[in-house]
Structures are given as C-alpha cells and as structure tokens.
Structure 1
Amino acid sequence: MAKGIAIPEASTTLRLTLMGFKGQTVEFFYDQLSRPIRSEYPGEVVVETRYTPSGQVWEIEVTCTPAACAEAGKDPGITRHHYDVRDRLTHIDYPDGRWIEYAWDEAGNRTEVRTQNQRTRYTYDALNRMHTVTACGNEDCSVGETTTYHYNAVGSRSGVEHANGTATEYQYDELNRLTLLRTWNAQGSLIQRQQFHLGAAGHREMVVEVPERVVEYTYDALYRLTEEKVTDPNGDRTTTYTFDATGNRLSRAVSCDPACTGEVEAGTTTYVYDANDRLLEESGPEGTTDYSYDENGNTTRKTAPDGIVDYHYNTDDRLTRATGHLESAATEASYTYDAHGIRQSQVADGVVSRFLVDPTHEHAQVLEELDGAGNPTALYVIGHERISQERAEGYFTYHGDGLGSIRQLTDENGLETDRFVYEAYGLLEHREGTIPNSFRYTGEQYDPNLGFYYLRARYYNPATGRFPTMDTYQGRIHEPQTLHKYLYVHADPVNNIDPSGEVASNAVIGHITVLATISGVAHGGYQIYQGNYARGAAEVTVSLLGGGVVKLVWVPARAIRMNYVRLVGEMRARQNAMSIAGKSSEEIARTLVIMRNSVKLEARSDTVRELGWTGRRLVEWAERRNVRKYGNSLGPTAEELVTSGKSMSQIVEESALRTNQIVNYLFAVF
C-alpha cells in the first residue's frame, strides 16, 4: 500500500510512516534492535508486540473497535507465547480461549502438539526423520491412531502406512524424481496408481492412472503448459492454452467427448490485459466478464453475466470482505487475519468458521475448524502432509497424488468414500462422495464462497490460473517468469506448486525429508513469522548455508558448487541492496526466506543430477555425520553461531566460501 515513507528525527525508537494511494497512513515503530513493537492502522487499530528478555515474541495485542477490526480484518485481544529454556515454543494462548501446546526432544524435533480438542505425538528415526504420527484425541497416546513413514537410502519417502490399514508406495528415478505412486485400501485393493513419464528436462509428459485414465501434457519452449489431453473411459477432454510474451494466458480452448463435467466447461475463452499484466476482460461461452482494480493492483470488482462481486482489502492488501454474487449461496463473506497475515476466520452470511492454525510449520497449517460458539467441526492431523480429518460424519484419511492434491478419502475401515479429479489448474472435474472436505487441489484449503484456494499470502483463482492480487515477492532477475505479479506457478501447474502464495516450488523432485523436518529451518521460520526478524533471518540462513543443507553441495562437482555460490551471492546482493535502500530487517528477512526455498531446490536438484548414486550416498553420509557431531541432521544452529560472536554477514560469507576438506581431498576437484 506504500506510496511514500517518512522517517522523523532520530530517536530511541524508529518510526516509519507509510502512505497509501488513497491517503491512508500506517505507522510502524521499531525498537533499538529493529524489532517491531507497535503498528498503527487507520481507524485507530493498534497492534503492539512485546518480547521476552531473550528476544522471543511474548505478546501480540490488537486493540480496535468492532467496526474498525472488521474493516482491518483483525481480531482484538492478546495472543501470548511461552517458551522453554532453549527458547522453543511451548504454548500459544489466543484471545478467544483457543490454545496450542508443543513438546520437543533434545534434537529439536517436535514430539507433541496438543489443543483443547486433540493431541498428536511424533517419533523420529536416527536421522531425525519423522517416523510415526499418532493421533490420540486427549487420551493415552499408546492406543492412538498411528501413521508410519518409510524412507529410501537417499532419504526420500518410500511409503506411508495409515492407521486405517491403507498404504501408499512411492518410487523414484535415478535423479530422485517421482515416477510411481500407488495406494491400496485396507483390503489390499489398488485405489490409486499414478505412473509418471518424464521428459528430458524432467517435466511430466504423461500420467497413467487407475482406472485406465491417461493424461498427456505438452509445453512450449518456456515450459508453459500448452495442452492437457485426457483419455478416460468416463469421457475424454482436451484443453489448449496460448500465451503472450510475458506469460499471460491469451486463450483457453476446451473440448470434451461426450460432455464436460464438474467445473470444466467446453468452449473457447479469450483474455485481455493492461500494460501491468492485470486481467481486464474474459470472454467465453457464457459471455464477457470484466475486472476492476485498485491502485495496489488488487481486484476490486468482477462483473460477470450472472452478477457482480465486489472485493474489499485492508491496508496489508489482505481480502477482508467479498459481497454480491458469490460462488456459494452466500451474498457476503468476511475474513480476519492474525498479525502475520494468516487467516483466522471467515463469516458467510452470518455463519462463523474459525481456524486454529499451527504457525510452526514451514507453511502455517489448520489444525481445527470451529463454529461461532467454539465447537470443533473438523479436527486435522498433520504429518509431512495433512493425514486425516475427523468430523461428525466420522474419521477420514487423506490420500494425495503426485502434486499433493487430495484424490481419495477413506473411512475408519480403510475403504474409499470419496474421489476427486482435477484439471491441470485445479478446477474440480469430477467428484464421487459427499463427505465434507475443505482441502483439495495441491492439498490446500478451498473457499466455496470465493471459488478460490487460500494460499496464505494470497488467494488463487483456478478458473483463470491467476492470483487476484499482486505478488509482493520481487522475483529473480535471471528468471523472468518470477517477475510476473499475477501468474500462478509460471503457467506450469503440472510440475509446480505454490503453498506460500508468493513463489513457485517444484513438486516433481522427491522430498529429501531430512531437509524438510530439521529443527533449524522450522525454528528460524517461526522466528521470522513471529516478527523476531534479525534472529530469524540468521537462523534460516544458517539452517540453509551452515549445516546439513550446505553439506549436500560440498561435493565433487564444480558445476554444483559454482551454481550454489552464484545463488548465495544473489542472496547477499539482495540483502545488501535492501539494506542500502533502507529496508527494514523484517523485509530483508522475509526476502531471504523466499530465496532460501529456491536455493534449496536448485542445490538439491544439481546434486542429484550431477552425482547420481555417489551424491545420494554423500547425502546420507553427511546427515549421519551431523547427527553424530551436533545431535541433529542440520549441524550448528544459527543461535550457536550468533552467540559465538559472528555477525549475519560473517555467517553468510563463511557459509558460502568454506569447503569440506575431506570431500575435496577425496575427489580432488577443488
């Protein structure tokens, strides 16, 4: 929303004033450690942050009148955080009485998550990989419902056994790319099979499913999806796309035999954009739809043949209200968010749904859905993914496909109750079953009032393959597709996902799960989420550069090392540029976290591609070495390095330049 920034005279507290295009102002106050301590929004909405003596966020207090809170999309009250002697989060108390409690082991792995309504326990193997997840309500966890994960030699997930007797197997090629996924019900019958055929560049060109469904994908030179061809006993479909030079979709042509189903409609749709890549007009078989925007690039009105929808945003550009002809029977839907922009509630025509969200995951996850009286309507169990949901209808296990989209639900007896089929961008093409389910495409939460998926930073519209609001991530100059402010996953939804709503990540490469569960990244990410930006940025940076991940690129491949140093150099250049521009530690830290995800993916891909079997063995050796030396698979934490007197710049510099002398000697490369 910023139009200009004013910095008054020097004082013990830094004060920044941001002025929006409509003249509204937001003032931010920081202490001498550059930590946010107070934010003042229009309508006398005030957010205050207080810290523990060790620098952890203790309280976040939101003060506002009911009307002002509704306009700002915020809930009033105090959220409190409690920590153990190692500054690990142990308890969160929310203003409305909800709470989350955590327990940790000596290696920093989360061993328990407990709420008012449920308890989940976790165990880990010798490499600190998640081994079991036990959902036990609030009862003795020795008799709970347990899900078990299995891994192959490189650390990728090879199988999952669920408490209801269902099981899933994963197979990979020599580059650790998923090639086969199979799921069996409790009776041993195959209910899902996806065999992936990959092109020379690793993109999925064909998926063969059970029963007898084949999907073929074609791409242009920039690997944007240009055709999706489905051969299915229940009906065939072909969808083609064309794009302009910047990646905007110019046309979408759909043909079905005998007829299209679900949310997929036959016919050709064309699109018109302005010079800022904003979608202005969409013309299809049902007529023409026009879109309007505010000065910040947010979609404010959709004028369609069947009615008008108006969208309203707060000063953080979060959607707070939608009115008019919504996708559901409702005529108005409103939303609130916490101090960090994570959605906390929605109200549709007076019907309240509240979300209890666990912020300590890499991407915040909904643990519970509750009604307006605080009664749970859905309880979720979270492992590496969303494992199950418990509702009035019963206990149901989720089964995802190779993109993470939910394809089946099975009941307590391990039998299939629901089945979902999606087209490439997430429109629901076919559904069997009636069990309520909010989590669908790529495993993310669907909003039936908007027809959008909630991806945390932004909502995503699968009908247009775009975000209705601008991306705040600047992008990477050597990857022009990342500079687009509205495009979903670079127009390649077959191989990419975007759980953050800010940056695409590859879904083809197998998860080296050690890297996804190590405590440094999770803890550092939570520090930044809580606003402890200086400490969080150091934690995440060292989690990437100074520990287990950097050991993956201490390998005898000059190409890997050169690319890694280039990526790290970009991180440092971005940090320096933002510092010179006067950006706050908050902005710098958030940018580093986003870049960290890209570095991790590229480094992992380079390592496997260049070294094959040797690289996989080196990965295993490096992680075992870290466990022996540091007690966890990551290596030294950021806190240890910062405590030793190293500055952020020193940590980045040394992490980027130092080498593993043993590996260099063995392979005589450097």
Structure 2
Amino acid sequence: MELPDGKAVTYTYNARGELTDLALADWETQSTTFSYDHMGRLQSAAQLNGPQTSYHYDEAGHLLDLLHEDGSSNTLAHFEYAVDERGNRISATETLAQPSSGDLVLEITYDYDALARLIGADYTIGTDTREHDFTYDLAGNRTQEVVTLNSTPTTTNYTYDIANRLSQIGGQSVDYDNAGRLTDDGTLTYTWDRANRLLDAGGSSYRYNGVGQRVDQTVSSVVTEYLLDVQPGLWQVLAATTGSDVTRFVHGPRGLHLQQQPNTDWVFPLHDGLNSLRSMVDEALDPLHLQNFDPYGNPFGVQGSMQSVFGFTGEPTDQNDLVYLRARYYSPVLAAFPSLDPLEGDIPENRSLNRYGYVQGNPANLIDPSGLIGERPPSGCQNQQQATCIGFPSGINSLDTNVKGIDAIDVYRRTLYAHTGVALSTACGQSVSWASYISSFTAAVLDIERKIGRSFRSVFGELEFRLHHNMPLNATGVY
C-alpha cells in the first residue's frame, strides 16, 4: 500500500489469507512477522525493532495470556486472565512496566448477573483499592454506580425515560432533541446534523465525507485532518495532520500496530485483551505512558505523557472524552451512546432493543468498533489495511442487506451474536478459490448449526452473498 507522500507498507499473506509479514518498504527498518495456530488465532507478533508479543488461548478460544516483551525477554506488559463457563473474564492480573521505574501490578476481579451483565469490578494496586458496583433496570440501563476508593464510596444514580434516554444523572437534568439525540448532559453540549452526525461537542467540532466517515476535527481553532483507509470493513486512520505535523499509524491484525510521531520517532502500542491501548514504549522500548481503564472506559492511574489518541478498546478518544466508534460516538462517563443505534435491534435478543446501551452491559468482555453491536475482540486477523479478512473468497466483500459499508463476514458474525449470544471467530481465508467456495461455506454453516443448536436459516433467514458489482454469485450461494 502506497500513501500519498510515497511511503509504502507491504503486506504478505499465507494460503489461508492470514497476514504473516508487515514491512515498511523503502521507509524505515520496521517489520513484523505474525504466526497463527491451526484455528487461525494470532499466536505471536515478532517485531524486528520492537516488542515481541505472544498470545495463549484455552480450548474454546478464550484469551488467557497476552505477553509483551523486549528482545531480552524483559516484560513490558503482561495480561493474565481467568474465564467462567460462559467465557466471561472473572479475574485478571496485569503487570506493566512504569515510565518512572519498576512494575505496576493490578489485580482485578469481575462479577456478573444471570444475564452476563457486569455488576462488580474490583481493582487492587498494592494497598490501594478501587471497587465499581453497578445496578441495571430491565432494559439494561445502568441505574446506579457505586465507586469505592479505599473504602470511601461515591454513589451516582441514573434515571431514564420510556425510550431509554437518560433523564437525570445524580439529580442533574439531561436534554435530548426530537430525534432522540443528546443535546446537553450537564457537562457537554452536543450539536447534530440532519444525518445524525455529531458536529460539535464540548469544544470539538467534526466534519465528515459523503459516506459518514470522519475526515477532520477542530479543537480551539486547530484543525486535524485524517487520511483514511476505506477498504471494506472498519475504516482506519492512516495519518493525522495538524498544520505541518503528521502522525502516521500502521495497523495490524489487532488494530494499531505502529505509530510514527511528527518528529519521525516510532512508538509502539501495548494492548490488553480488550484491545485497549495500555502503554506506549519508545524505540529503546522504554515506557513513555501508562493508563488503566475502569470497566466502562474512564481512565485512571495515568502515568507519563500521552503519546496517542487511541485508548479504550483501541479506538480514538477525543479531548472531550468521547470515543469515536465510526457509526457513533460513545461516552464512557455516561456508559452509553448519545445517539440512537442505526440498527433497530431484534426482538428475540431483547437487550438489543435498547438503542443507547453499550455492549449490553458487558464491557469487560465485549467491544463495539462499529458503533452498531457488541462483539468479542477478534482472535485472528481483522481490519488489516488493504486486507480482506473474511472466511470466503476475497471477491465477496458486501452483503445485500440494509447494513451498508460493512464487510460480509462482519455482518454475518454480528448477526450471529445478536441472535444467539455466540461470538464467532473464524480463520481468515478458509477458502480462496471459487471452486471450493460452496463446499467450504456449507461446512461452515454445518459447524455453526452444531455449535448453536439451531438451523442457519432460523438465525439468518434468506441471505444472499453478492459480488462488488452487485451481481448474484449463483443460486447455490443463497442460504
């Protein structure tokens, strides 16, 4: 892939369609080799001049261990997880090298209700404790949060109207317009256009292209323009230009992989199991920045100087503390979206009918990179720049549904989760030839039916996969 300034990134794939090598050709001596297990799950990312990262899973594919090391096997960040029978994390031990010296060790325990909603998260760092307790109503709205810092509790109550819109936060009134969009939450005021795109919030103003992708942001009269990779799937920011300063971003199988600062220095992000950017190290692999997040994405325990706009779940966070999730912005403070989900939800999965709720109350395990629906962080290839990451031939990238601009496998995977609660992680490139497409897809359908105990049609109905030029594949491509 060649950028407008002539810089290029080279991607190499194996026969399964998995990214195996990433190199900055004729640019910098930066390259990474990726390896996968037999299920297509990412096992390692070995950078020539950067961190060495390894991933370990249980038999069901749940991530249990994520380790970032330097070339001498010194730990930069280590995330260890235990999960319950539903695959939800019940505990975590996190070790991160600090910008000052020594390691920060964070112990976390999680508790859930019968609907897999997070009702408790306890953090311990040495002798300091931080406890979060949540209460929800029948629609999945968070009605109370109790934050206890070293035995001192603070309670915040939330009330909602019949449409699941916030009406009060701790006694402070909240306002919406007639289109169901938040206009004043007591801290930020919001302005929207007729296409439901956020134009201004808390001093940040935004502009978009014709298909709704954000192309610039203005803060205090300073404009930052974004160069986007708009390949099918979730678009990514390749560069952010503010005046003469250009910050470049290189994305890999799990999101942001490398970042070049305006002074041309490289910094390396260290992600946790939720894809949140927890630390940044410099070219000498010394920590520059460290941050923790509470369950719904509010940072705490921040150390060092901020090096990247990417943060909670690996997505960009603006100066107004809103997280940009493409279709919508998410507010960690409110633990909700300030605008309606473009998808109306599904009656069999009644929690999806709450169109303001974030990941159905399970932020310790689910992410929402599209702003449309919660899902498990992918364990294999995903959203690689200039890469098609699907389990079908590379020519099939769109699905003839009312959801536009999303990769077919994304729609497929998201629909499966919305209907069944089953998070599907498929290996990339299970079939790359037209001749084997039908048999491979049929095998995948049978496997899914076995796993969920329901027929494919009962979940998806009649779905027709089409080519880019909107011509049907053939009659046998319809299920």
Q: TM-score range by the shorter chain?
A: 0.7 to 0.9
What is the CA distance between 1:272 and its match in structure 2? 1.0
- From the two aligned structures, give the one with the greater helix fraction: 1
2:208 to 337, 352, 361: 337
Cα contact 2:331–2:337 (8 A) shared by 1: yes
Cα contact 1:225–1:491 (8 A) shared by 2: yes
How is 1:102-501 mapped onto 2 (pairs within 5 angstroms)?
112-116=1-5, 118-136=7-25, 140=26, 144-210=29-95, 211-233=104-126, 235-257=128-150, 267-283=154-170, 288-304=171-187, 309-322=188-201, 326=202, 332-371=203-242, 373=243, 375-384=244-253, 385-392=255-262, 394-448=265-319, 450-501=320-371
CA separation in 2, counterparts of 1:566 and 1:150?
36
CA separation in 1, counterparts of 2:122 and 2:196?
37
CA separation in 1, counterparts of 2:257 and 2:150?
35
Cα contact 1:214–1:230 (8 A) shared by 2: yes
Cα contact 1:528–1:536 (8 A) shared by 2: no
Cα contact 2:233–2:410 (8 A) shared by 1: no
User: For residue 389 of structure 2, what is the aligned residue in structure 1?
Assistant: 517
CA separation in 2, counterparts of 1:303 and 1:117?
46
User: For residue 421 of structure 2, what is the aligned residue in structure 1?
Assistant: none
SS of 1:114's partner is coil
Change (3 A) 1:406 1:205: same
CA separation in 2, counterparts of 1:434 and 1:256?
24
The letter of the residue matching 1:276 is A
The letter of the residue matching 2:238 is L
Confirm whether residue 566 of structure 1 aligns to residue 458 of structure 2: yes
What is the CA distance between 1:215 and its match in structure 2? 0.5
TM-score (norm 1): 0.61
Change (3 A) 1:356 1:165: closer
Change (3 A) 1:125 1:559: closer
CA separation in 2, counterparts of 1:420 and 1:347?
25
TM-score (norm 2): 0.84
The letter of the residue matching 2:115 is L
Percent identity, aligned pairs only, is: 26
Q: Which runs of 4+ in 1 moved over 6 A?
A: 512-516, 526-529, 531-541
Cα contact 1:388–1:396 (8 A) shared by 2: yes
Change (3 A) 1:413 1:348: same
RMSD: 3.4
Q: Which has the larger radius of gyration?
A: 1
SS of 1:517's partner is coil
Cα contact 1:555–1:561 (8 A) shared by 2: no
What is the CA distance between 1:547 and its match in structure 2? 7.1
Deviations 1:425-458 (A, max 9, x none): 110012222143100000000011x211000111
Deviations 1:450-479 (A, max 9, x none): 211000111000011100111110112211
CA separation in 2, counterparts of 1:534 and 1:461?
24
What is the CA distance between 1:555 and its match in structure 2? 4.3
Change (3 A) 1:652 1:486: farther
What is the CA distance between 1:135 and its match in structure 2? 2.2
CA separation in 2, counterparts of 1:185 and 1:431?
22
What is the CA distance between 1:532 and its match in structure 2? 12
SS of 2:3's partner is strand
